Amino acid sequence: MSKIDPELKKKLLKESQAPFKGLRKILWIAFSGSAFLGFIIMLSRIASGSELQLNNLIIQLSACILFPTLLFLDKDKT
């Protein structure tokens, strides 16, 4: 018989099914924060009258949608 604690065994099995989940979560949070900060900076530049290319704004807005979505989809289902 196995001498491993059932709780530890359950935790190790869960980790083997979804490796690096914690690291992915940290990265999604960091990327989301960066995207929102960049979007706020772009909005402030627009408000100050500075000219901005539309495709840069679309890319930043897409990042503001994509990274929080990935964070939401990566959450634990249990």
In terms of C-beta distances under 8 Å and separation of at least 24 residues, what long-range contacts does 29-32 make, across chains too? 29/71, 31/63, 31/67, 32/64, 32/67, 32/68, 32/71
Considering the domain boundaries, does residue 58 fall inside one?
Answer: yes
Q: Quick count: other Cβ atoms within 10 Å of Cβ 13?
A: 9
pTM: 0.75
Number of domains in the chain: 1
Considering the domain boundaries, does residue 4 fall inside one?
Answer: no
Considering the domain boundaries, does residue 64 fall inside one?
Answer: yes
Write out pLDDT tens, residues 6-45: 888 888 888 888 788 889 999 999 999 999 999 999 999 9
Considering the domain boundaries, does residue 3 fall inside one?
Answer: no
pLDDT the model gives residue 31: 97
Considering the domain boundaries, does residue 69 fall inside one?
Answer: yes
Considering the domain boundaries, does residue 78 fall inside one?
Answer: no
Show the domain range for 64: 21-73
Considering the domain boundaries, does residue 39 fall inside one?
Answer: yes
